[in-house]
Amino acid sequence: MPEYYEILILFGVGLVAGVINVMAGGGSSLTLPALIFIGLDSAAANGTNRVGILIQSIFGTLSFRREKITGLKLSLRLAVLTLPGAVLGALLAVKVGNVWFERILGLVMIGVIISMLIPRIKYEDTTAEGRSTWLVYPAMFAVGFYGGFIQVGVGFLIMAALYHLLKINLVFVNVHKVFITLIFTIPALLIFMWTDNVDWIFGLTLAAGNAVGAWWAARLSVRGGERTIRYVMVVAIFIIALKLMGVF
């Protein structure tokens, strides 16, 4: 049985990660190391983390709907494009050993930091509906593969694809991001379950924190608009940078 402090740690980490994941991305950079820290191997940590991601995405989606901010038709179309990649990514993830997974995780986190330091173009013509471009097809496949494989920072990738390729404004980018993550997490989680790489006690504890964080983050995202989202993105990057430097 898990120790009580492990439950408290995972709930707290899950709550913070739920806020970060809905409003920006990178929350798994906290939850994955936390799961590894309490004793799970890399595959089990990767699979267990998906329980929290799934529940968080459900609550985030419901909260956005309660705020009457939706775009289900476009969200569903984009989400379907991620499914083949998600399946392939999850199949690869369960075959990668602990050492290589942790090396890849470290490189990914460095890449996330670098990508977020690159100056961003601000578009004045962003809309809720966005525009059409064929580039979204390979982009969503890549998002699905990456999300199925390692998950960490996938929110940044989705935001970049929807904002820069489709020119959707950031409030609606977050709406689509949460739903897309919900859909591609389902087959990925099933694969981790099939290979017995999910710890349900830890996963549901993490999910409880994720759900609370996601619910309030969705409301804050809608009411705060793009400026609030940008501030949270900066905080998320700062947290990731501190972790990479070994501060916590």
CB 192 within 8 A of CB 35: no
pTM: 0.81
Tens digit of pLDDT at every position of the chain (248 positions): 567 788 888 998 888 888 877 776 777 878 888 898 888 988 899 999 999 999 888 988 888 888 777 788 899 999 999 999 999 999 999 888 777 776 776 677 666 556 555 655 565 566 667 778 889 999 999 999 999 998 887 888 888 888 888 888 877 888 899 899 999 999 999 999 999 999 999 999 999 998 888 887 776 665 655 455 556 655 655 665 555 455 55
Where would I find the H helices in the chain?
4-23, 28-37, 42-66, 72-93, 98-117, 136-149, 154-160, 170-194, 200-244
Q: How many residues does the chain have?
A: 248
